[in-house]
Every structure is written in structure tokens, then in C-alpha cells.
Structure 1
């Protein structure tokens, strides 16, 4: 089995695996799987050269950071570890809003270091932008944590171009993470040009459309009752039917290319630029291997043109989040 190649995060940033591993679903939102299989998946990722692991303090109320911490305990030197702060949750998982005030930034970082059982976080993102705090104040505190050796690189998630530029003027930003896939192409319009102008790396989350672009789902009933995707507009009713029709067209092209639908969808993200690192999530080794296989799928100009015809910007039916979550996106 080939080893995963590397990509540089931004003009002057670190080298990380060309595909990362999103760990969120190992602890919350997606059902199925076990902790043992999740940890085995992380270890298998490291064996294959996937060293870029992505978690956040809100995933499973901190449980995901603890799981990742256990998994990498004997592998710290092999891992480029990213986590996030800013989405505040209560004791029962309820969403309490977004915080980016310096006091919270510091306390969140200390808590993540403890849960992860590490001395330093490689890449620390603000998960969502706090509209009530100047981004300069948030990033200023992140910079102080960097000076103290608690974090190595600074990142932003779901930040608008205006916020990215204001943050970058305060302190070097290494990576910006937003959603990018064949059915979520908003970033192409202004976020990608902004980060490229500034020399910031780009991390694409949900590059498989929360699993929709794998072709595994045929109806909304394929999701268990407690799977959070049932609450997503794109997975409901008429929207589901419209979106699944588009995926079937992607499936047909994947058959022609002799690859899986997931590999084709990931190959499209990878083809958008060498400065883009997708972080598909999985908690199963077989899907991890499938995702890595996308690096061997070469898309011609004609392939890219056909995918643009099938899923041009704005083609997906429905918002990418429910209304409450969309309200936290900095736009």
C-alpha cells in the first residue's frame, strides 16, 4: 500500500498529509462504530502516512479530544494535531452560543491540552467567529498562547474574507477551514481567493457532503433515528430526492473512472489546488483506505468539466446546516 503524500499548509506553513482524518464522528453526530474501531482507525491512518488529525472541544462534549488523546499517546511525534474552540455547550450537550473573548480562549486551550494529554496543540482554530468580540482580541490571545508554547499554529474556521484579513493583520494565520465539496462550493467564490492572496493554507471539511457524496445512502430512512443528518435540510424530503439524483450522476462518472463515488468526490477537492487539504471523517479502517485511494484518481479537464455540469455552484438543494447552525456562520 502506498504512503500518503504531503502538502504544505499555506506559503510558509507546515507539511501535513495530503488527506487528513476528521475525528468528529467517532464521538458524536454519526451513529455506529466503537471506540476500539475508532482508535484502530487512527492507528491505521498513521501507518498509511495520514498524520493530520482534526478534532474539537465541542465534539462529544470533550469526549472526542479524550479519545484522540488516548489513540496518540504513544504516537505524539507522528501526529499533526488540530483542535478547535469557540462553540460552547452545556452539561447536557445544549448549544450555549459562541465565545471568542480572551479569557475563554485561554481556558478552552488549557482544557483541550488536558483532555488531549499533550503539551502543545499543533493547529488551534477558532471554530466559529464570535460576533461580539473583535477578531483582533481573539487572535491576540491565541498569539500569546503560541508565544507560551501551548500552540504552534493559528487557524480560523468558517470565517469570512473580511474576518480573515483582520485576523491576519494581527498575527500570522496558518490555515482556514471551511466546508468544501461538490455540493458546497461557496468557498470558491471569496474564501479561497482570500487565503491564496494571503498565503494561508485551506482545509476542506465535509468534503464528502457528510457522507452523501459516497453514494451509500438511497433514502432518508437509511439514517438511524438518532443520526443528526436527519435534521439537515439537504437530507430531507424533496431536497433529498433532488440531491440523490445529482449523486447518481456522479456515481455514473465514478464507474467510468473505475473508482468509488467517494474517491471521485475527494479527487475533485484535491484537484482544486495543491494548497487544499481535505479532512474526510470516518471511524472505520475500510473507509479510510477508500478515501486514501482518491490520491491515485487523476481527473482530466474533461472530467472536471463534466462534474461542473453535474454539480455547479449552488446546485445542491437546501441549506448546508439547519437555521440555528447557519446563524453562527460568519458571512
Structure 2
């Protein structure tokens, strides 16, 4: 599988990564099998977060990757802090919390360093300088190799681009969510920052099972009827739907990796097999003519 450089870092990530959020702690065996199969199929980028299942997701991923650490690029996220009663969480981008949380993540993941540590959200009102200072110190201490942010907020992304040394921005990007195209993709490329594309299959709408995934309120600014119409148009192309979804985002020069989730080995195999078929430039342009060119309305 092709690998791309992540921003200006020394990390080279597989074009298909694995978003591990869907793994449940009670399904350790299944999650381990998926991760092992992913490595066998050329995937080297694995993404989790301390928020997922109170940190149990990190434990599962860490256990599954034991003995394989040198072969993979491991990423997790920080900033969403569970309340003591575990009934909800609050946002905490403080330096003190980040520097405490990283050690807990390292312990759960059974590793002494992270390849990529990401701020799991953020607002323009955050103490951004303090947050950046935390990541920079962790880098100097050798606990993380590089850092990035996970955000779709233009004002936050621009502020971190200006002030920090982020190598990546994780953002939602798909045929159904083309908002990054209007202002973020070229901007980040010019600043040598890569995009990690989450949600490339739009909650399953861009798979063969799409009819079971359509809901009454549609998807983002698409009504249910608009969702169905667009998918039916895309299906007239000779490239399978899942292949189309993955190829569409990966043909952007800014996207280093796309991270669909896979709960089972069968789902993983479908994704990797779909990756083999790609869109032509003409087919991609046709999709752009069919799909909405939406823009970010907030966070300016």
C-alpha cells in the first residue's frame, strides 16, 4: 500500500489508516484480529483517543499492537476529559492536563512514545499558546514525536498553523462533506501540513449498504432525497461505490491518509480491496459537478 509523508514530519503513513473508535473493549479478540489483518494488508497508521470508552479503547489497541510497535504509526488524542461520574466530559486544553493525560495514554497503549499526539477539538477561546507549549515540551521530552489537531474550525486551524508546528489536521472529508475543499486543503498544503481524512464513507452512505444507512433527516445539508439522488448518480460510474469514496478523498494532494473504521475482518477486507480501484480525473470532476460544494459557515 502506498505511503505518504505526514506534513513535514519523518512519518510515512499508509493511504488507508484504521480509525479504531468502533472497537469495543469486550470484543478484544475481534479488535485484535482486525488490527493484525490491517498490518498484514499494508496498513501502518492506527488512530484512537483517550475519550473512547473511558480509555478502554486505548487499552485494546495497545494490547493488539504489542510486539508490533516498531512496524506502525500510532496516534491518539487529548482534550476531552471525562467527569468523575463518567456521565459526561468537559473540554480541558490546559497544559497541566495534557501533560498528565499523555502519561495515562502511554500506559494504556503499552508504549513509551506516541508518533502523533492530537488535540481532540478546540476553540479560538482556548489558551492556545499554553496548549502549544504543552505539546512542544512533550516533544522535547521524547514522549511524542509530532503533534497535530483534530478540527473542522477554520479559525482554530489557521491559528495553530500560524503559531505551532503541527504536522497534520484531522478533519471530516468525503463526497458528502466537501467543505475542506473550499479553503482548507490548499491552505494546509501551502503550509506543508497534511490532512487525515475521517468519515470518508459518510457513515456508511458511500458503501453498498447505503440504503440501510439513509435516515429521514438526510446528512449534513443534504435532505434524504438529495442523498439518494447523489448516490444513484455516483452508482452510474464504473468504479464501485466504496472505491469511489476512498479514491475521491485520497486524490487530494493534501490528504496523507483516510481512516475509515472497520469493526470486523470482513469489513477491513472490503475497504482494502476497494482501495485498489481508483477514479479517473474526469470521474472525480463529474462527482464534483453532482455534489454540493458546501462551505464552513461558522468559526470565522
Q: Is it true that 1:245 corresponds to 2:229 in the alignment?
A: yes
Residue 311 of structure 1 is matched in structure 2 by 291
Distance 1:233 1:131, change over 3 A: farther
SS in 1 for 2:112: coil
SS in 2 for 1:190: helix
Distance 1:213 1:138, change over 3 A: same
Q: Is it true that 1:21 corresponds to 2:5 in the alignment?
A: no
Match of 1:47 among 17, 40, 50: 40
Shift of 1:21: 0.5
SS in 1 for 2:22: helix
Shift of 1:304: 1.1
Alpha carbon RMSD of aligned pairs, Å?
A: 2.7
Equivalent-residue separation in structure 2 for 1:168 and 1:272 (angstroms): 19
Residue 279 of structure 1 is matched in structure 2 by 259
Equivalent-residue separation in structure 1 for 2:162 and 2:254 (angstroms): 24
Residue 270 of structure 2 is matched in structure 1 by 290
Residue 299 of structure 1 is matched in structure 2 by 279
- The total of aligned residue pairs comes to 299
Per-residue CA distance 1:173-209 (angstroms, 9 max, x = gap) = 1111100000011111222122112101111001111
Match of 1:263 among 243, 253, 275: 243
Residue 133 of structure 1 is matched in structure 2 by 126
**Structure 2 runs not aligned, ≥5 long:** none
SS in 2 for 1:278: strand
Equivalent-residue separation in structure 1 for 2:283 and 2:89 (angstroms): 44
Distance 1:275 1:179, change over 3 A: closer
Per-residue CA distance 1:43-68 (angstroms, 9 max, x = gap) = 00111110100101111111110110
Distance 1:92 1:288, change over 3 A: farther
Per-residue CA distance 1:89-130 (angstroms, 9 max, x = gap) = 335654333111111111211111111111001100001114
Distance 1:275 1:96, change over 3 A: closer
Equivalent-residue separation in structure 2 for 1:63 and 1:184 (angstroms): 30
The correspondence of residues 312-331 of structure 1 with structure 2, limited to 5 A, is 312-314=292-294
Equivalent-residue separation in structure 1 for 2:299 and 2:92 (angstroms): 13
Equivalent-residue separation in structure 1 for 2:52 and 2:118 (angstroms): 14
Per-residue CA distance 1:215-255 (angstroms, 9 max, x = gap) = 313246x8xxxxxxx8x95469x9334323322322332xx
TM-score, L = length of structure 1 = 0.82
Q: Choose 14-23 or 299-308, whichever is displaced more.
A: 299-308
Residue 36 of structure 1 is matched in structure 2 by 29
**Structure 1 runs not aligned, ≥5 long:** 223-229, 320-325
Residue 8 of structure 1 is matched in structure 2 by 5
Equivalent-residue separation in structure 2 for 1:15 and 1:190 (angstroms): 25
Residue 225 of structure 1 is matched in structure 2 by none
Q: Is it true that 1:67 corresponds to 2:53 in the alignment?
A: no
SS in 2 for 1:189: helix
Match of 1:153 among 129, 133, 146: 146
TM-score, L = length of structure 2 = 0.90
